[in-house]
Structures are given as structure tokens and as C-alpha cells.
Structure 1
Amino acid sequence: MAQEVPHKPHAILIPYPLQGHIIPAVHLAINLASRGFTITFINTHYIHHRIFKARPSIRPDIFLGIRQLGLDVRYTTVSDGLPLGLDRSLNHDQYMAALLHVFSAHVEDVVSQIVKSAGEKVDCLIADTFFVWPSKVAKKFGLLYISFWTEAALVFTLYYHMDLLRIHGHFASQDCREDPINYVPGVEEIKRQDMMSYLQETNTSSMSHQIIFKAFDDVKAADFVLCNTVEELEPKIIAALQAKKLFYAIGPIFPSGFTQSSVPTSLWPESDCTHWLNTKPPRSVLYVSFGSYAHVTNRDLMEIASGLLLSKVDFVWVLRPDIVSSDYANPLPVGFGEEAGDRLMIVPWCSQIKVLSHPAIGGFLSHCGWNSVLESIWNEVPLLCFPLLTDQFTNRKLVVDDWKMGINLCDKDSIVREEVSSNINRVMIGKSRDELRNRVKEVKRRLEDALTPEGSSENNMNKFVEDLMVKIKYQKVLLT
């Protein structure tokens, strides 16, 4: 049972303004509100504009339906410092520069307004770990700072120990060591090529690197860290982190009932694939999606498309208009749709949890974003892994090497259509398919167990609330 708190704490919650971070942040807000919290949720103007544009029928307040259920989640928006019309994905560096240098000033203004006008004391700030300013903003307004990490604990600890990686010559050097890394607390061993893409790069002067360095310096001042993972999936890593921080594994953060969220979060209009999927046999369709932000090279996309045709498998493909870049109106091979025929459904975007939960889905060709990994596990769908950037390479290692519930799209340096076709069939057909399904079922049991009333994630959430209330009470004593 969710533990209701005697005093009603008020938390300001600010997600990182990217699709994969907003989804778990919304579900965390609902989870905490169901435990008696007041939550003020702050989206950027741009993210709010995208959500509203994707579903014009929704009301401006995305949490209205939640409040009608009796949960106290308030909603407001803030500028990220850039014009609404700028495509953040295609202007990545400019976007990161605004989040690094400009965004905090806008956040301070809106937090100040909330603190002054809330009608009750605001107790804490919950902010995505990738922000560079939360500890400073929290301190300025006398708030406790809770850092919300939306990815795997392994990814967190590698960033947290960048100093060790640097000292040992595995990071930030023109001549980085290539031998396995075995000195990060809680991590038995990891290859350099399995670290996040930013830790594999020799040039560390980019905007993204500056954000990572500042964010993981800032998180050291956090009062608590919440992590969207499961203790039983990463026990040694979490234990090592808990020796340094108040670190709570509370995942997976899913909506109630899993298959749909009562709060709109999609940045694109969602196509309904249900009618087409209903015509297909159970576990016969491969779902293909490379997430909401990353881009694929035109060459790789052509090879993947050709491999899908060679495989003879039915597939539903989420093909964002900007998946390659704005220069390619149609990045697929000539005659692709005609050759695929009824085996294919292409949509620009869809509700991923709704598609993955459909009985026709038998595999997922994925970029290995953390939300996608968790959603695949929950639906017992094996993964065909094609990481593109950031944490996706590390998530691939967990999926393929550690949990053995997926395989690599290609084991060569370059994508080759014949290998794509062969590996699709390994996931979708025969003995290897059955082995992968059995493994993903075993991993799912750990997630299910963690969310039971006596499970690790539920216990950790209850412990976090208890520890937070003690700290809030202590702060009040200091102020009186």
C-alpha cells in the first residue's frame, strides 16, 4: 500500500525538457501525489506547446484529469530561453547552450513566484539530474533538493565517477586506454565501448559535456537521489552508490495500468496501430522505433530497411519525419512500401506502451533508450539493439550482455542488410526466440516483485518519503 504522509509536503518538480525524461517525471508526480504530496509540475513553454499541438483537444492544463481524481498536481510552464518555432532536435547545440546558460534564470523567476504565492510552504525541489542549477536554486529558496535520475544506475555511477575514469586514463584523453574498466565502485567490469557515448569521446569541450560535468558536480549537493531502476537488476551498483548518497531505486515508474497514461506527454500526434495489429497472429510483428530525439544516418536507415524486407517478417515502424534530417523527405529505398505490402505499417509516431502491450508484437528493434528497455521488459518483448548515442550503448550492455534478453542488430562496425535480416529472424523465429522470451520473462518477474506492497521499489519509495519528512521536520525546527 502507498504510504500517506501526515503532513502534506509541497514539491516543485521540473523534468528535463526531452520526451524520454518528461514521461517518468509525470508518473513520479502522480505517484507522489497519491501519497499525499502537493506537486507543482513545471514544463517548458516549448514542451507544453508540442504536447498541445500533438493533441489540440486537450485542455491547457495537462494534469486537469488527475486533479479531478483528487490528486493535488498543479501545472505551470517556463521559457527555456529560445523561440517556440526553433526545432530543438535539429539545433541540438543551441538548445543545450540555452539549458546550460539561460534556463536557470527563468527557473528562478518561476520558483520565486510559486514560493511566494503557493499559500503553503514549499518544501522541496525535485529536478532532473542533468540540470546544472538545482542545488543552487534550492538553496536560494530554502528548499530540499531531490535529484531525479531517469536512467539506469550503471549510467549514473559512471558519470558520478568521471574523475576515476579520467585518473585511470579511460576518459578525456587523446590516447585513452582500451582495457576493461574494473575500479568503479559496484561495477564488476565494463568495456570502454560500452560506456555512454559522451564518455567515449576524446573531445570533451562540447555543450553536452559541459552540462554533464556541471550536473554531476551539482548532484553531489543533492539531499536525495531517486532512480528509475530496480534494485534487483543492479544490486551491487546501487549498494555502492548508497554508501555515498541517499540513493533510492524506485522504478519502474509506470502509469497505473501501464497501457495508457491519464496525462498527455507525447510531443507528436499518435497514430493508432491497433486495427492493423489486430489482423496479425500473436507475437508475429516486429516493432521498430529509434526514439524521440536521436538521428540515424541515411546509409544505416537504407540497410535496416533492406534488412527488414529480406527478413519477410511483419513490422510496424515509427518513422519520425526528422529521423535522418530535414534534408530527406523520404529516406527509404525506392519501392520500399510496395515491396513490403501488407507486411508493413509505417507511422510518424504512436503510443509505444500501447503497441508493445499488443499481443501481436513479438520483438522490438530499438535504440535502447531506458524507457524503451523497461517497457519491453514489462511486456515480455525481446530487444534487437541498435544504440545511437548517450546512455543507449550502456543500456545495450545490460540488455544483451548482462540480462541476455536481447541481441545486437549487427556485430560488425557497419550495418549490413543481410545481418539485419538474420538477427531479426533470431528474435522472431525458432529456438533463439524462445530463449530470449524466457529470459525477458525472468527479468520481468524482478520488476513485478519490486512493485508489490513488500517489494524493493515500494519499500524504497516509502523509505524516501519517511526520510524526506524527517528532514522537512528538522528544517522547520531550525527555522523556529
Structure 2
Amino acid sequence: MLQLATNPSYYPCLCLCLCLCLCLSTTPMEDENQKPHAIMVPYPLQGHIIPFVHLAMKLASKGFTITFVNTQSINHQIIKAQPNSTTNHDIFTEARQSGLDIRYRTISDGFPLGFDRSLNHDQFMEGVRHVFSAHVDEIVADIDAQSNPKLTCLISDTFFVWSSAIATKYKLVNISFWTEPALVFTLYYHLDLLEINGHFASIDNREDTIDYIPGVRAIEPKDLMSYLQATDISTVVHKIIFKAFEDVKRADIIICNTVHELESDTISALQEKQPIYAIGPIFPKGFTKGLVATSLWSESDCTKWLNTMPHGSVLYVSFGSYAHASKKDIVEIAYGLLLSEVRFIWVLRDDIVSSNETDFLPIGFEDRIKDRGLIVPWCCQISVISHQAIGGFLTHCGWNSILESIWCSIPLLCFPLLTDQFTNRKLVVDDWQIGLNLSDAKQLTRDEVEEKISRLMSGKTSDELKRNMKQIRKTVENALSRDGSSVKNFNQFINKVEIKIRKK
């Protein structure tokens, strides 16, 4: 070798030999092992599973191998809701047939399939908090020992309390996926500031404006998430929030299902703390019903009915997959719909009030709506709100519903029920001005429901909301364009993951 190094005539041969050696030493198996392989674990609620599924598809289309993990209970509900499915059905079968490397596993959440998780909410959440991590650990160990390509990343819901421990144990890149707006994230992230200033966790919480959260200009206490307005902070959900937002500060990367331009100040302030990427909205390709089933209930097809309705004349009413409403509020909304004389589709889950109370509509209501109203237990929301007959959406302000409505340019009538929905309403009504509050008083009345529906569906207010919605829609559309912020952020996120993988 000393002779070769001192004789210039040998340099070309030496370079050729080195190149050949490098090429021969890199086998196809080793190339395959360099491919990023992410295990994805969504929170076991439909509103969290939907963006996780869409993210899995998007990452797989970029060359990732994905192992997607649902609970056995969620999988059972999804399969039961699908026509002509079998118990061993894999919800990603069609995605794999399209060329995507997405594997599917299910694990126990600690409860039997027949356990009513809605009725026994607190008990279920205690199980998710204490027991679920052991099942995740077991499946990660199994995949880590056997998988090809090698497992490299953990993408888990921010609300899980165990992510950093699992990622550290198996030397995985720890990616926290936040499925709600950045505003909600940063309020939880700065719980210590809220507590120090007496707006949270005090005997008598302050009621003045909150103006000290980094990246948040100002917010009223009434617009905080319901858990931050609560006087009892000893609940299981509070314990989950406290632990989860300690844990997320150890994440390698945070990704958020929002658009930078819609929450630029908030995201910029967070980026000074940790790597965070606004990569939303994460929709199925073409904003159509995706290849992967995510619905926990059988979907009614509303298309035939909608096809008979005039353009923009139908109000869509839905309160999502998780939150509950009081029977009194359901009754007032029902009478408000009657008084408004508007055409409507109303999605009413059987458990919208409670699993134990399924008789909640006024007597004779369905007979009185005749041909102008359609009540269904569940439907494909994307298919409905993208229909030209829809002119407004009375919503609980779930984040998925807001993003989908923006994409379809559908103005919103806001009736938040739980958790982030109160803060989401602030964004919709105050910041972006694309919706109205359903009620400005503590007690919902049918007269106010009628008045707000009328303002949403027609007249000067309706026109203003539609103009504002078109501007917000354009912002989102630009973010998803080739040179848009969400596309750039997504590519930067992937580059960051690859760098982190090489360092592990």
C-alpha cells in the first residue's frame, strides 16, 4: 500500500478498486435496512386516528415503512362498521396493494371488547394511563427484534405519557404528533405560566385576559380548553395532560396538523423551544374518502338525498365522534331547526347524550321535519360537506371538522362541548372570522338557535363569513402547493428524521 500511495500511476486503479469494494459491500438487504421504519401509535379515539392514518399514507408514499398500531377495540369497531368485512380484515390491505409498505398490528388497551369505554370514560382513561404502555412496549420489542427494515422511529400521539421512555429504551427517534391546533398545544405546554399567574389550578382562578404566553397575543379564560377551566384538577385526564406535556419536552421532533400561516406567531415561539413542524392539514389524497377505513360506525349514504337539494341550501349538523351533549341542548337545537325552516342533515350518534339514554329528540320531531330534514346515526363527513348542496356546518368545533370545512369553504356555527373545542372556537370566530358562536349565554335557547342558523345560511353575515372563508381556504391551499409552507415543512421534517436516525 505504501508503494501504491507513493506512485501516482497507481491512483486510478486504486480509486476503481475502492469503488468496487464499496459497491460490493453494500448488499440490497443493507440498503433496505437504511429505509426509515416508523411505528405509529394513535390515541384510541377516532378524531386522533384519522390524521394518523393520513400521515401514515403520506410517509409511506415518501419511502417510509410504517407499522401502524390500533387497539383491538378500535379495530373491532372499524371492522364491524364496514360492509362485507371479516374479523381478520386488515384496514391497510388496499394501501399495500397500491404499493405502500404499511403493516398493521393490534394490541389490547387493557379492557375486553364488550367494555363500554364511553360510559366508563374515567376507568378507560386510567387504563390508557397505567396499562397501555406495557402492551406498547411488548409490541415494540417484538417488531424491533424481527422487522426488516429495522425499526428506527416512534410516532406517537402527544397525549401518551410513555413516549420518551419507549423511544429511549429501543433507541428510536421520538416523534410526537399533535393532532390539534398549535394554540392548544402551547397553552398546555405553558401550564406552569398559567398556574404561576393564577389562571389555572388556583382556588379562585383569575378571569382577566391572559397575555403572557409566548406566541399568543391574548386569550380570555373562557376560551381555554375545558380542562384548564375546570376547578377540579385531580381527574385522570388532568393527570394525563400533566405527564404528557412533561414528556413531550423530551421529544426529538414535534409535528402539528396545522398551517404555519394560520398560527405563525404561536409556531415561531414554539420553534425556539423544540423542533416543531406545521405539516397540515393532513388530508387523504384528493380530499376523497381514503383507501383506509377509519370510521367506528356504519356510514349512511346521504348523496341521493343531497342531490335533490338546491345549491348551498343544506345545514350539516354534527357533534363528532366523542363528545356528549345534554338532552336539554339537543331538544333546543331540534326546535331551533324546526323554527328556522332550513334544510338539514343531522348526524345523531346513539350515544350523543349517553350510552344509557337513546331517546332524546322531542316527540314527533322526525314527523315534523318531513322532506327537508335527514337524520342519520353516522356518515362520511368529507363526502357530505364537499357536496354542493351544503351551505353551513353546525359543529362541535373538532379540529378535523374545522380543517375539512375550511377546505370546502363551509362557514361554521360553533357549539363546543369539550376539551380543545372551546379554544378552536376562538380561532374560528375571533381570529379568522369564518364562523359564529351558537350561544353567547350559558343557557342555549331555541330562539337563539333559529336566529344564528338564519344568519349563517343567508344575508349579510353569511356573505361576510363566506368571503373570509375563501381567504382562509386560499391560505391553506397555498400551504399545500408545491412550494407551500406545509410541503416544505414536511420535507424538512423527513430530513430531520433521517439525520436523527443516523445519530441513534
> TM-score if structure 2 supplies the norm length?
0.92
Q: Highest Rg: 1 or 2?
A: 2
2:220 to 191, 207, 217: 191
Question: Which amino acid in structure 1 is aligned with residue 377 of structure 2?
Answer: P
The answer to whether the Cα contact below 8 Å between 2:414 and 2:425 also exists between their aligned partners in 1 is yes
Which amino acid in structure 1 is aligned with residue 58 of structure 2? N
Q: CA deviation at 1:91?
A: 1.1
Q: CA deviation at 1:7?
A: 4.3
Q: Which residue of 1 aligns with 2:78?
A: 51
Partner of 2:482: 453
Q: Tell me the CA shift for residue 382 of structure 1.
A: 0.3
Q: Does 1:70 align with 2:99?
A: yes
Equivalent of residue 170 in structure 1, options 199, 213, 227: 199
1-structure distance, mates of 2:317, 2:417: 14
8 A contact 2:312–2:389 mirrored in 1: yes
Paired AA for residue 426 in structure 1: R
Describe the SS at the equivalent of 2:255: strand
Equivalents in 2 of 1:193, 1:78: separation in Å? Answer: 38
Distance 1:428 1:89 in 2: 33
Q: Which runs of 4+ in 1 moved over 4 A?
A: none
1:126 maps to 2:130? no
Cα offset for 1:474?
Answer: 2.0
Counterpart for residue 150 of structure 1: 179
Q: Equivalent residue of 2:401, what SS?
A: helix
Partner residue of 1:422 out of 451, 463, 478: 451
Do the aligned residues in 1 keep the contact of 2:172 with 2:501 (CA within 8 Å)?
no
User: Out of 31, 41, 48, which is 1:21 matched to?
Assistant: 48
Within the candidate set 371, 396, 408, 1:379 is matched to 408
- 1:442 deviates by 0.6
Q: Is residue 2:320 matched to residue 1:312?
A: no
Aligned length: 471
SS in 1 for 2:261: coil
Shift of 1:326: 2.9
- Taking the aligned partners of 2:149 and 2:315, their CA distance within structure 1 comes to 50
- What are the ranges of 5 or more consecutive residues in structure 2 without an aligned counterpart? 1-31
Report SS of the residue matched to 1:43.
strand
Distance change >3 Å, CA 6–CA 189, structure 1 → 2: farther
C-alpha RMSD of the superposition:
1.1
C-alpha displacement of 1:207: 0.5
> 1:382-421, aligned counterparts within 5 Å?
382-421=411-450
Q: Does 1:34 align with 2:64?
A: no
Distance between the aligned counterparts of 1:100 and 1:233, measured in 2? 32
Which residue does 1:478 correspond to in 2?
A: none
1:117 aligns with 2:146: yes
Q: Does structure 1 retain, via aligned residues, the 8 Å contact 2:349–2:378?
A: yes
Question: In 2, Cα distance between the equivalents of 1:40 and 1:379?
Answer: 31
1:240 and 2:278 matched: no
Say if 2:284 is the partner of 1:255: yes
How far has the Cα of 1:328 moved from its partner? 2.6
Cα distance in 1, alignment partners of residues 235 and 368 from structure 2: 43
Letter in 2 for 1:317: W
In structure 2, C-alpha distance between the alignment counterparts of 1:365 and 1:291, rounded to whole Å: 11
Which of residues 337, 348, 357 is equivalent to 2:386?
Answer: 357
- Sequence identity of aligned pairs in percent? 62
Instruction: Give the 3-state SS of the residue equivalent to 1:232 in structure 2.
Output: helix
Give the Cα separation in 1 of the matches to 2:264 and 2:148: 42
Mapped to 2, the partners of 1:37 and 1:155 lie a distance apart of 29
Deviation of residue 335 (structure 1)?
1.1
1:259 is displaced (CA, Å) by 2.1
Question: Residues of 2 paired with 1:7 and 1:90: CA distance?
Answer: 45
Which of 374, 377, 382 does residue 345 from structure 1 map onto? 374
Q: 40, 61, 64: which one pairs with 2:90?
A: 61
Write the distance in 1 (CA, Å) between the matches of 2:189 and 2:301.
Answer: 40
TM-score, normalised on structure 1?
0.97
String of CA shifts for 1:233-274, please: whole Å, max 9, x gaps.
000000000000100000000000112111000000000000
Cα shift readout 1:186-229 (whole Å, capped 9, x = no counterpart) = 00000011010000012110010000001001101100000000
1:22-51 CA-partner distances (Å, limit 9, x unpaired): 000000000000000000000000000000
Distance 1:299 1:448 in 2: 39
Equivalent residue for 2:245?
Answer: 216
Aligned counterparts of 1:68 and 1:259: Cα–Cα separation in 2: 18
Alpha-carbon distance, 1:6 to partner? 11
Report the CA distance between 1:58 and its aligned residue.
3.5
